[in-house]
A and B are shown apart, each in its own frame.
Chain A
Amino acid sequence: MNIDQMVDQLKNNRDFMANVTHWEEIQPKEASYGPFPDSLSPELIRVLADKGISRLYSHQAKAIELAGRGKNLVVVTPTASGKTLCYNLPVVNTILNNDDARALYLFPTKALSQDQVSELHEMLSRLDHPIKSYTYDGDTPVTARKAIRQAGHIVVTNPDMLHSGIMPHHTKWVKLFENLKYVVIDEIHTYRGVFGSHMANVIRRLKRICSFYGSNPQFICCSATIANPKELTERIIGQETELVDESGAPSGRKHLVFYNPPLVNRQLGIRKSSTLESRKLASSFLQNGIQTIVFARSRLLVEVLVTYLKQLVRDKLGKSNSVRGYRGGYLPNQRREIERGLRDGSIMGVISTNALELGIDIGHLQTCIMCGYPGTIASSWQQAGRAGRRQETAIAIMVASSNPLDQYIIQHPEYFLKASPEMGLINPNNLYILMSHIKCAAFELPFEDGEDFGVDSLQGILEYLEEEKVLRHVGSRWHWMTDAFPANAVSLRSAADENFIIIDITFAKHRVIGELDRFAAPMFLHEEAIYIHEGDQYQVEKLDFEEKKAYVRRVDVDYYTDANLAVNLKVLEVFDSQSDDRIGKGWGEVMVTALVTMFKKIKFDSHENLGWGQVRLPELDMHTTAYWLTLEQERPFGINSQDDLQNALVGIANVLGQIAPIYLMCDPKDINVIYQVKSPFTQKPTIFIYDSSPGGVGFSEKLFNIHLDLFEKAYEIIDRCSCDAGCPSCVGPAAEVSQQGKELALKVLGGILNDIQPQGQAEDNLLKLPFK
């Protein structure tokens, strides 16, 4: 069967269609073209012709035209619409006209930069003029580095290397910085949250260095579809940017199918496993020789699916190498080989984490299966975009898991299809992040009095650093005066170095089986805790808090442990608040403290308490920002007992924690929800949603603005859930929230929403551009 027959067959399969909540057919689109700009060198036009490109898509032509007029721009078009030409052409064209000109390419990962370099090389090798491009990253041999600094026209690297390997040594890169004409930032949508806030500061530093050497580069950026690509780009580069978002690339017919695995236990809300359903679907496509990509949400799931599918394929085709996994942790060579195999068709199926969501060139596949909602609308479109050829039909199937977010999406496909994708939020002025980069910047070049670094508070921070004896103010300059190399102390990728690693010591050869963030560690990794990993039980033997290591050993016991975490949240400063007689909202700076004091041993099945133990671990505290909602009435919405109120709040908090990421385009781990039946600050029942990263990256302000949208969605999810008294897809299992949990949560949510219209226009003042 070919792809069209497969699609028809699915459409006619009654069992399958019974679980399909929506089938969207996207019509094919003709290409639209634009002329070669006059400025484009004949040599380049010849090279394009050699590659079979005789005209440009309209978005490419527009990008090149804008770049030619000296504008910064961000290109937002679908996967594989020829985005790279949008920057490669202006860059190469400029170098052809001026051999001294230089360009810097920034990719979020090493794998991507290598991919792009090989494509770029291919184009450069067809030119008569020698234009050199090099990758400069941690893997670049020391011996090659000098040549790259001197002679590379195009230097390809990642933000981390720019931050700690290039800018602190800018005097070795004089040629690059003096002549820097273009900075290319690909996949700019990946720079959001903490990473994006760092990135904006890295760019501030880059621009400072450029201006020291007398250059003023233009920025060409590319982004996947997000709600605010222009604003995000402008916040990152700190300059006005033109948006190019009308794709001229053609596309074939595409089917987008929402599939909800059937319920196996309605009362408890348990559905068939999304993994097994994805496996079933994938194998039917693979057996028909249709090239298929499956996206799974964890590395472990990738491996499980690979094992399943290899088995299947081996039986039918006699070999199993046509199905491969792809995820972080594979060696670069192996990944290159898989990418090649996908392009040339020797690999029929690939199971990947979101690693393949980014612009790595794997050609065009015919089928995409998403095992679980990818977490954001934007990544769903990106993953679905992996299936799609110019002429042929493609199909993308989203298979929902039972968590609330998945269930909401799968039951509200209209929401998914109509909603604009998520926003990329960053907060470059997060004090932690800002201060780290001000240190790095001062190390690179002393600050001059009156410099601003894009923030009002620079002077205050410089003075503070002088008091701390990090800087010295002499004459009109602030000099770095300590012995340290500040970039080494700053990791751009959130707080990865703060994670605890989990080491299995069952066998003589110890191995790391996982990691857990600093705040979760006391809960799950205290000594004697039973830690469950990939379905196996481990007991924590030793927690080395200083070294951030937990040593665990395999055990087989009939109980689990549940630690008692006391989270305390103190409001330090209110940035904004509003209230009426019913509810109130606010956001501001908070101090969160977490202390684990004891744990219980609880028997499986019977849930009887087998005993308890003490935990002696230090209290963790964190400054961050939070959004909160208060219930203003004495007995809110007719709920009379404290217990009932508590059960209602537990359920609401559970749902909010799951769905807030949809609005924030963040990982569920990036935020936390807690409730206080009587908050010491507001003196009322209060739900707080706070940023998991110190200082916050802007989620709270956004939540303050969208406010009731979130509660409306929570209401809908609980209301429409088919379970009786709570399940993992809504408020949580009834055992946790009591038999009335669902009802109570709905009562409170109904009260919150009553008579109050969602406020939409508040979003307008959300993004204040730094240069205005």
Chain B
Amino acid sequence: MISNLKAKLRTISSNSPSSSKTGPIQGELDRGDLGGSIIEGASGSFVLKTTSYSLATSYGDVCLDRLKSLDLSDSQWWTRLDQDIDTRDIVFLDTETTGLAGGTGTLAFLVGIGYLKGDRLVVRQYLARDFDEELPMLEAVTKELSNFKILVTFNGKSFDWPLLESRLVYSRLRPIAWEDSHLDLLYIARRLWGRKLKTCSLTSLEENVLSHYRTGDIPGYMVPEIYRAYLETRRPTDMLAVMDHNQSDILAMAALLIHIGGLFKDPIKSCDAWELFGVARDLERSLRLDQACDCYKYCIKGAKDSNLQLQAKKQLAYLLKRYKGPEAALGLWRLMADEESGQLIFPLIEMAKYLEHREKDFDTALLYTKRALEILDKGLAGYSARIKDDLIKRKNRLLKKKKGRERNGTYRRIV
């Protein structure tokens, strides 16, 4: 009866039957092929592999010994955490999972964590060699994680941690509520390098920022497939590569944090123009305005990319206008209006606003307004219809004001 059912299932199955029909191979669980030791807990066993790195180790351009001396006091303005960081309180975390789609049915079979211990960076990898090892593994991981105050991940806020959280809830274990003590380096990386690099993946950052080039690394998307193959064949080769990959990710996070910490500590000295722009935005956001102005200025000075330079000018001008008054921004607006002539509308609008409302110089304001309209009429893309409407309104208002003044005979010229 059951074989009849299976035959039926096979015929109605829309996808072609999988190549092997032999059923699952229950390979023997290896004892030691993966390195590490087998931990026997109350609810089962799992593998724990501990690797410790001397702080003299370098990862690309970054030497890990800087982790110890890394000063992350006064860092909340860019970490956006609820506390300053002592590097001894940090735990780095990276998981390898059975799928990338998320949802309750995806689990992390490997959880790697890293932390500073004395003069070493310790990486501990918790591995479930099969689905029934997940629970004891998770119990041990949560226990160890509870020793730390700060969680550092790369893309962990939207991927690793929610996934673990979900599996912890499923296993009836209490997840740690990291909330504002979870530092996701991806977000910071995007602020610093999102404009410059095509992607902000960890590998891309390693190569472009840390000058580290992995060799023999397996691509992340292959991990679920490798685990499935391992479950069937129990051959350790590819799984060892996954574990190495996971270790590299943790080292990379440590190196990246060191590097980022340095950039924010002394931006003018350590940052390139791209990075300066990102740092300046964070400074501005936390109202460290003088420092922000400095960073924008250095960015403008050092930028080779004209668009970046323009963005920095624009950002700086708005900052000045907002916090120091319109006069402070005037120079920059005028510079942009003239220098980038025929291209930009916003400096013209800003100039017109200033001249109309502050200086009451309707003629010149009208000139700028008309020029902005001319540019728009050339059909430059990217401007909304509202901008044009506003400009026309401004033009009409200016004409009216001008006429009113001529009639009243109070015409006077400033500038």
Q: Which residues of A line the B interface, CB within 8 A?
A: 168-172, 174, 431-432, 435, 442-446, 457, 459-461, 463-464, 466-469, 472-475, 477, 479-487, 623, 694-695
Contact = CB atoms under 8 A, between A and B. Distances in A.
B225 A445 contact: no
Interface string B193-229: 0000000000000000000000000000000110010
B12 interface: yes
B60 interface: no
Contact of A431 (B9, B100, B131): B9
B355 interface: no
4 shortest A-B CB distances, which residue pairs?
Answer: A443-B105, A171-B169, A480-B105, A485-B101
Given A170-B104, A469-B24, A623 B130 contact: no
Contacts of A464: 5-6, 9-10
A485 B102 contact: yes
Contacts of B8: 431
Contacts of A435: 9, 12
B67 to A, nearest CB: 34
B176 to A, nearest CB: 15
B18 A482 contact: no
A443 B104 contact: yes
B104 A477 contact: no
A479 B224 CA distance: 14
A188 B21 CA distance: 42
A485 B103 contact: yes
A694 B14 CA distance: 11
Contacts of A446: 131
Nearest to A475: B132
Contacts of B379: none
A545 to B, nearest CB: 15
B104 A623 contact: no
Contacts of B382: none
B165 interface: yes
Contacts of A482: 99, 228
Nearest to A622: B12
B132 to A, nearest CB: 4
A473 B24 contact: yes
Nearest to B1: A460
A663 B2 CA distance: 34
Interface in B1-39: 1-2, 5-6, 8-13, 17-18, 21, 23-24
Given A431-B12, A432-B12, A459-B2, A467 B103 contact: no
Given A171-B166, A171-B170, A481 B12 contact: no
Contacts of B225: 483
A484 B101 contact: yes
A488 to B, nearest CB: 8
A477 B132 contact: yes
Contact of A694 (B2, B6, B12, B98): B12
Given A467-B21, A469-B24, A695 B12 contact: yes
Nearest to B103: A168
Contacts of B242: none
B111 interface: no
B47 interface: no
B222 to A, nearest CB: 11
B163 to A, nearest CB: 10
A460 B5 contact: yes
Given A461-B9, A623-B12, A483 B101 contact: yes
B283 interface: no
Given A432-B12, A467-B23, 6 more contacts: A171-B104, A443-B103, A459-B2, A468-B13, A474-B132, A484-B99
A170 B17 CA distance: 31
Contact of A445 (B17, B18, B170, B228): B170
Interface string B125-137: 0000011100000
A435 B99 CA distance: 21
B376 interface: no
A466 B131 contact: no
A747 to B, nearest CB: 40
Contacts of B99: 482-485
A169 B105 CA distance: 9
Interface string B252-280: 00000000000000000000000000000
Contacts of A472: 24, 130-131, 231
Contacts of B24: 466-467, 469, 472-473
6 contacts: A168-B104, A443-B104, A467-B18, A468-B18, A477-B132, A481-B231
A589 to B, nearest CB: 8
A768 B275 CA distance: 70
**Which secondary structure dominates where chain B touches chain A?**
helix
A479 B5 CA distance: 21
Given A431-B12, A457-B5, A694-B12, A169 B103 contact: yes
Centre residue among A170, A466, A472 by max chain B CB count within 10 A: A472
Contacts of B2: 457, 459-460, 463
Contacts of B165: 171
Contact of A479 (B6, B9, B100, B131): B131
Given A172-B166, A435-B9, A483-B224, A474 B131 contact: yes
Given A174-B169, A481-B231, A445 B132 contact: no
A469 B132 contact: no
A443 B166 CA distance: 13
Contacts of A468: 13, 17-18
Given A459-B2, A460-B5, A472-B24, A444 B104 contact: yes
Contacts of A466: 23-24
Contacts of A484: 99, 101
Centre residue among B1, B8, B169 by max chain A CB count within 10 A: B8
Interface in B340-393: none
Centre residue among B24, B100, B131, B166 by max chain A CB count within 10 A: B131
B98 A481 contact: yes
Contacts of B1: 460
Contact of B104 (A431, A445, A694): A445
A491 to B, nearest CB: 13
A423 B354 CA distance: 75
A444 B18 contact: no
Given A170-B104, A466-B23, A474-B130, A481 B228 contact: yes
A647 to B, nearest CB: 36
Contacts of A172: 166
Interface string B155-195: 00000000001110110000000000000000000000000
B46 to A, nearest CB: 13
A445 to B, nearest CB: 7
Nearest to B12: A623
Nearest to A470: B18
A140 B23 CA distance: 43
B124 to A, nearest CB: 24
Contacts of A481: 98, 131, 228, 231
Nearest to B101: A485
A444 B170 CA distance: 9
B167 to A, nearest CB: 8
A489 to B, nearest CB: 10
Nearest to B3: A460
Contacts of B11: 623
Given A432-B12, A477-B131, A484-B99, A461 B5 contact: yes
A451 to B, nearest CB: 16
Contacts of B101: 483-485
Nearest to B162: A172
Contacts of A469: 18, 24, 228
B238 to A, nearest CB: 16
Contacts of B131: 446, 472, 474, 477, 479, 481
A481 B132 CA distance: 12
A467 B19 CA distance: 10
Contacts of B102: 485
A749 to B, nearest CB: 35
A168 B104 CA distance: 6
A198 to B, nearest CB: 16
